[in-house]
């Protein structure tokens, strides 16, 4: 046992049979069978097993590390990693209203909606603030319910991100992408400008880091490489004339080149320039 609520076992101290987790070599038990919920959707060489207790949910969880060799898609097992269908690069600009703006070198582009994440955030902010006010009036210092509300907010955000990231990577795989270049959101580091959007970015650094983490993990299933770059100035350069223009964003979310007169989605301009 390692730390409070954490049990760590080597890969020769456990095995999985159906929906049973069989533990061996524990101090007080020679063999312990535990039935678990859910199904295994990965296969490959198993690493160590970590069993943790969540005091908020009051449940035990088992985490198995894998050298992944296959994944269950619906009812079919697919060998991993798959091989890319082409050799195209794609640029991804991370943001708030558009969680991801994606541009592929062949001219394909699309946006991934980020507003549902804002809705999740604002909903839970309001509920948490209301409950926090009640706690303050009662003089209580800790609350399991409040901790549970913070956890639910994060889990809902993660679920949305997981779904959208997988859809995005699968689409890029079908388009023949073999390399993804992700622009780390401008303003996250080394920028002292304040304001509503800036504060939102800084308070949700974990979300952008989580998006990048999941992009790397899911893209790895398709043998697609993911590179992270600084996206500073990428939204100021016109994709047609190739020159940077200060103040080219004349409306929220739109970029207008003063030389060509062309109008673009500013996030897609960023995604395009990330590849340059």
* Average pLDDT over every residue of 54-65: 86
Tell me how many domains the chain contains: 2
pLDDT-derived band of residue 149, with 50, 70 and 90 as boundaries?
very high
Question: Is residue 36 a contact partner of residue 42, using CB atoms and an 8 Å limit?
Answer: no
Same domain, 32 and 107: no
Q: Could you give the percent of the chain with pLDDT greater than 70?
A: 80
- For residue 20, being part of any structural domain is answered with yes
pLDDT at 229: 87
Q: What is the DSSP letter of 29?
A: -
Same domain, 52 and 110: no
Q: What is the DSSP letter of 141?
A: S
Distances in whole angstroms, Cα of residue 135 to Cα of each of 121, 141, 144, 272: 21, 7, 11, 48
Same domain, 115 and 169: yes
CATH number at 167 reads: 3.30.420
Could you give the CA distance from residue 92 to residue 174 in angstroms, rounded to a whole number? 16
User: pLDDT of 62-76, one tens digit each?
Assistant: 889 888 888 888 888
Q: What is the DSSP letter of 244?
A: B
- For residue 247, being part of any structural domain is answered with no
Q: Pick the residue with more confidence: 168 or 98? A: 168
pLDDT-derived band of residue 240, with 50, 70 and 90 as boundaries?
low
pLDDT at 261: 62
Strand 177-184 with 225-230, pairing: parallel
Q: What is the mean pLDDT of the chain?
A: 83
Same domain, 128 and 208: yes
* Domain span holding position 46: 6-79
pLDDT at 157: 95
pLDDT at 198: 54
Could you give the CA distance from residue 96 to residue 123 in angstroms, rounded to a whole number? 16
Question: What tokens does 252 get?
Answer: 């929220």
User: pLDDT of 3-47, one tens digit each?
Assistant: 456 788 899 999 999 889 998 877 777 788 889 888 888 888 999
pLDDT at 197: 55
pLDDT-derived band of residue 185, with 50, 70 and 90 as boundaries?
confident
- pTM given for the model: 0.78
- For residue 273, being part of any structural domain is answered with no
Residue indicated by tokens 């898609």? 73
**Where among 46, 79, 112 does a domain terminate?**
79
Same domain, 138 and 228: yes
**Where among 61, 79, 97 does a domain terminate?**
79
Distances in whole angstroms, Cα of residue 164 to Cα of each of 62, 98, 101: 25, 11, 12
Residue indicated by tokens 């301009």? 269
Smallest Cα–Cα separation from 116: which of 76, 89, 153?
Answer: 153
Same domain, 160 and 203: yes
Q: Is the pLDDT of residue 226 over 70?
A: yes
């Amino acid at each position: 046992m390692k730390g409070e609520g954490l049990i760590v076992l080597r890969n020769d101290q456990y095995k999985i049979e159906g929906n049973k987790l069989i533990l061996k070599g524990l101090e007080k038990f020679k063999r312990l069978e535990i039935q678990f919920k859910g199904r295994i959707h990965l296969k490959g060489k198993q690493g160590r097993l970590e069993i943790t207790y969540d005091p908020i949910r009051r449940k035990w969880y088992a985490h198995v590390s894998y050298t992944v060799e296959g994944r269950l898609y619906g009812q079919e097992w697919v060998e991993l990693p798959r091989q890319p269908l082409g050799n195209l690069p794609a640029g991804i600009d991370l943001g708030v209203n558009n969680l991801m703006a994606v541009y592929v070198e062949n001219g394909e582009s699309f946006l991934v909606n980020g507003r549902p994440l804002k809705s999740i955030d604002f909903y839970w902010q309001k509920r948490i603030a209301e409950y926090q006010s009640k706690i303050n009036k009662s003089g209580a210092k800790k609350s399991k319910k409040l901790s549970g509300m913070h956890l639910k907010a994060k889990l809902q955000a993660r679920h949305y991100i997981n779904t959208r990231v997988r859809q995005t990577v699968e689409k890029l795989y079908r388009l023949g992408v073999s390399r993804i270049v992700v622009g780390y959101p401008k303003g996250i580091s080394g920028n002292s400008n304040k304001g509503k959007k800036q504060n939102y970015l800084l308070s949700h650094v974990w979300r952008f880091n989580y998006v990048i983490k999941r992009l790397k993990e899911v893209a790895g299933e398709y043998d697609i490489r993911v590179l992270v770059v600084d996206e500073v100035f990428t939204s100021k350069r016109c994709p047609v004339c190739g020159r940077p223009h200060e103040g080219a964003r004349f409306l929220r979310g739109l970029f207008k080149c003063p030389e060509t007169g062309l109008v673009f989605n500013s996030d897609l301009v960023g995604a395009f320039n990330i590849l340059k």
